Amino acid sequence: MRRTGVIAVLGVLLTASVAWAQGTIATGKHDFSAGSALRNADAAINGQTCVFCHTPHSGSTTVPLWNRNTPATAYQLYASSTMDATSPGAAAVQSSVSGACLSCHDGTIGIDVLANLGGVSHTASVAFTAQGTANATYGTTGVPASANIMTGGAPFLGADLRNDHPVTIIYETARAATSTEFVLQAISGSKVTVGAVNPLPLFGSATATATVECASCHNPHNNTNGTFLRKSNAGSALCLTCHVK
Amino acid sequence: MRRSFGPLAICALLVSTVLAGQVPITSVTNKHNLSLSGPGPVRATLVNEICVFCHTPHNANPATPLWNQALSSGVTYTAYSSSTMAASVGLPTGSSKLCLSCHDGTVAIGNTVTRGQIAMTGVDAQGKLTGHSMLGPNLADDHPFSFAPVTGPQIVAPPAGDAVRLDANGMLQCRSCHDPHRQEVDPVVKKFLVKNNSASALCLTCHQKTYWLTNPSSHQSSTRAYTAVQGAHTGYATVATNGCESCHKPHTAPASTRVLKAVEEATCGTGAGAQCHGASGVALKNIVAEFNKLYRHPTYDTTPSAHDAAESPSSASYRLPEVLSTAARHAECADCHNPHASYAATATAPKGSGKLSGVWGIDSNGSRVDPSGVPPSVREYEICYKCHADSANKPQSPLAGGGPYPPYPNRVALQFNKRLQFDPANPSYHPIEAAGKSTDVPSLKAPWTTSSIIYCGDCHGNDTGPRAAPTPGTGPDGVHGSNIKHLLVARYDMDNLENDPESAAVYALCYKCHDRTSILGNVTFKLHDIHVVGGAVPCDQCHDPHGISASQGNSTNNSRLINFDKRWVTPDPQGRLYFQDLGYRTGRCYLTCHGKVHSPFSY
C-alpha cells in the first residue's frame, strides 16, 4: 500500500514535470490565462486557457470549435521559380487551417477578439498585458481597433508571407513534379502524413489534395521543442521529414 | 497485400541508394552540412541543425528561397571579361548572391537573419570562409555567371529538362552548374555539380566547341594519363575524362581570361600543373623542348604576348595581319593549333593536317579563310600567311623595315611577303600554292615531280623531326624550333660562303628533293658543279628559295627561282645585274661574283 502510494506520488510528479516543461498548453506561451507570458486580466475569462482559440459552442466549422474570426487579410504569398506547388491565393489561406493561426499572427485581429463574444474586444484594452517573456510586441491600434494586435517580434508574420515557408500548398503537386526531392505521403483512414519517424500531418483527407499548413510543422499546444515545433529539429529533422536534399 | 509493399520498398531503396551516392546535404560527409555533425572544416560548434545556415521557415531575407544567411553588402566585384564572349557580364544577381554570401569571403559564415551569429569553427578570425572555395570579390578568374548567354554556333541553351538550368530570367547562375545540396552527383569531382562532368558533359551542355566532338579533338579523345600528380584538378585521370578542365579551370583560374590553367601557351607546356606538352609525359612528345633550340617561333620567349583569340583581319581591337611594323610579334600555340580541334589526321599538300585543323588563315588573295573539308583545315601555308605575308611586323631584313635577325639575304627583288612570293602568277616559285612553273626539273627525287605541291613545313621545322634530312629524326614534327638557322629541317649553309666546301650535308635541305648527283652533274645548268663545288657557292646566292613576285620580276630574268643575293653577287662594270633565260637549259648572266665578271656569261 505504501509502495503504491510512492509510485502514485512519483507519477504525479512526473506528469507535473512534463507540464512544467511546456508539454501542454497550460502555462506555455499560448496560455493567455492569468500568470502566463501574455497575461489576461479580464475577470470574465480570467483563468481560462482554451477560450482564446476554442469554444464549445458556436465555433467555426473550418477549424473545429474555433473561437476567432477568419482574417480578411490580402496576404502576399511565397513565390519561387523553382517551386512546383501552386500558390494558393490569399482567400484560400484565409479560410485554411493556417488562417486560424494567422488570425493572431498576421497582426490584423486583436488576440482578445473572440467569436463567442461577438467578435469584439471583450472588455478593455488593458485586459492583456504582455510580460517580459513574451516574444511578440503588441500595438494599440488596428482593425478592428484593439490594443492587442501583434505588431512585431519573431511570432509576428504580418500580411507579407513572401518570406515565410509557403502554406495551403498541395504537397502532392510539388512531390509529383520532383519526386526525388520529397518524401512520399502516407494515408491512414482520412489522415495524411509525411515521414516514417514522427510523421508530420498534412491537412485534407486524400494524398492528392492534402495541404501543408502552419500546423504541419507547429503544434500550438506543445512547446517542448521550442517554437511549438511538432518534433525536434535537431539535424533539421523536421525540415527533412518532407524535404530530400 | 504484403506483396504490394514489395515494389514500394524496392522503390524506396532505389531512391535512397541514388541519393546516398550523391551525398545529400544530410550526409556527414557533405561539406555544406555546416551543422555540428558536418564533416568540416567549416561547421558549427553547437548548432546541430543543417538547413538553418542557409534557410529559415519564417522572416527570410531574401524571401526566396527562404534565405537565412546575411547577404554581402558593399562589395566591389570584378566581373569576368573576354574579347571572345558575346554576352556581357555585370554584377552578381539572383541566386548567385546567395552563394556569394559565404563564398565571396566577406560575410561570416553562420551570420543568420533569424539566429544571429551561429558559432562556427574552420573559419578565419572574422568568421569568414578561407581557402580554395573562397572566390573573393574578384570574379574575373571565375567562369562568368549572372548573365544571359548569347547563343550561337558554339553556345547553346541547356535543353529542357536538363540538370543544367538557367534561372527564371534566363540567366546563368552558380546554380546552373552547382546543386548546393548534393555534393557528389559527380562522385569524382565532388564539387556539388548538377551532373556528372566526366569528359566535361556538364560543360558541353552549353559549350559546343566546333570540332571538339566531330573531329574529335585529341584533347577530347586521348586516353593518356593526366592525373593529379601531373596537375589535373578534377580527380579524373585521363586527358579525355578531364575534358575541358585539362586546360580550363572554372574557378580561381591562374589565368583569368578564358579561365585557363596558365597564361596562354604556358597552359600547353610550362605552367604549374599544365605541362602536358612539356616533360610531364602527358603528351607523347615534348614540344616545349623544341622551343629551347637556337631558332624557334617565339612562343615561349614572351608570356603573355600580344596574342588574342579574337584576332582577325576584321577585328578593330585585335587585327591580324598586323598593320604596325613596330607591333610586338607573337606566335602562340593557338596561332597555329586549335586545342578544341587538333587531332591526328593526315592530309595532302597544301591542305593542313588534322593537327592544324580548326585554325583560320590568310589565303592567296590576302583574305581571311576559315577551315573546311576533312580534316577541317585551311591550307597549311594560309596559317603561315597570318604572320609571314601581309603582317607589317613580319620577319624581314632592315632593308625592308625589319630587324637584323637572323640575318637576311639582300636580293635583287627584295621581298619578304611570302604570299607575294608564292603566287602562282609569279615567274617562278617553290610549289607551295600550286605546282611549279618549270616542267623541266630533272633533279627531282621520287616521289617528287613537277606536279608536286610541298608544305612550308617540308623545309621549315624540326631538325630532329621526321622531315629532317638527310636522316629523318624521331622528334616531333612541326615548325616549332630547330638548331638550324631559319628554322630549317636540314642544313642549308647559305651564309657560310666559300669556307664550307659543298657536301651532301651542307646543302642537305636542297638535296632532300633535288638529287645531288643530278645537280652536280650539270644536267640543266652546265656550270652548277663549277659554282657549287668549285666555288663553294651556296645555292641561295643565285636562287631565291621562295619565289619572285610578278610585281618585281619576270619570266626572262627570274625563271628557275633566279634572284641574286646582292651581298655576294654584284653588278658587272656596266652596272648590270641580271639573268636572262634563253630557252631550254640555256641562258646568260650579267654580274660580278667571286671576283669574276660575267658581262655576260652564256651557257
| Min Cα separation A94/chain B (Å) | 18
Cβ-based contacts of B181 with chain A (< 8 Å): 245
Give chain B's contact residues with A (Cβ, < 8 Å).
Answer: 12, 15, 18-19, 24-26, 35, 37, 48-52, 55, 57-66, 114, 167-168, 181-182
Whether A3 and chain B come into contact, CB under 8 Å, resolves to no
The pLDDT-based confidence of A103 (bands split at 50, 70, 90) is very high
**Residues above pLDDT 90, as percent of chain B:** 88
Mean pLDDT of the region B73-83:
95
DSSP state of B530: I
- Residue A82 to residue B65, Cβ atoms within 8 A: yes
- Residue A239 to residue B55, Cβ atoms within 8 A: yes
- Residue A217 to residue B25, Cβ atoms within 8 A: no
- Determine the pLDDT at residue A119: 58
The nearest alpha carbon in chain A to B66 belongs to A163
The pLDDT-based confidence of A37 (bands split at 50, 70, 90) is low
User: What tens digit of pLDDT does each residue of B314-340 get?
Assistant: 999 999 999 998 888 899 999 999 999
- Residue B59 to residue A154, Cβ atoms within 8 A: yes
Work out the angle at residue B574's Cα, subtended by the Cα atoms of residues B571 and B576, and round it to the nearest 5 degrees. 40
User: What tens digit of pLDDT does each residue of B271-286 get?
Assistant: 998 999 999 999 999 9
Cβ-based contacts of B63 with chain A (< 8 Å): 78, 162-164
Beta-strand runs (E) in B397-549: 428-429, 481-482, 547-548
Query: B242 Cβ partners below 8 Å, 6+ apart?
Result: B200, B226, B232, B234, B236
SS3 of A201, please? Answer: strand
Residue B102 CA to residue B69 CA, distance in Å, equals 8
- Residue A164 to residue B26, Cβ atoms within 8 A: no
pLDDT at A70 exceeding the cut of 60: yes
Whether A232 and chain B come into contact, CB under 8 Å, resolves to no
- Residue B66 to residue A164, Cβ atoms within 8 A: yes
User: A–B: how many Cβ contacts below 8 A?
Assistant: 69
- Determine the pLDDT at residue B12: 43
pLDDT at B67 exceeding the cut of 60: yes
- The residue among A81, A244, A233 whose CA lies nearest residue B12 is A244
Contact B571, B591 (CB under 8 A): yes
User: What tens digit of pLDDT does each residue of B493-512 get?
Assistant: 887 666 788 999 999 999 99
User: What tens digit of pLDDT does each residue of B3-16 get?
Assistant: 444 444 444 444 44
The pLDDT-based confidence of A127 (bands split at 50, 70, 90) is low
pTM metric for this prediction: 0.88
Cβ neighbour number for residue A74 with a 10 Å cutoff? 10
The nearest alpha carbon in chain A to B22 belongs to A245
Beta-strand runs (E) in B375-462: 428-429
pLDDT at B178 exceeding the cut of 80: yes
- Determine the pLDDT at residue A138: 80
The nearest alpha carbon in chain A to B179 belongs to A245
Pick from A52-61, B174-183, B349-358, B374-383: least confident: A52-61
| Min Cα separation B456/chain A (Å) | 58
The pLDDT-based confidence of B263 (bands split at 50, 70, 90) is very high
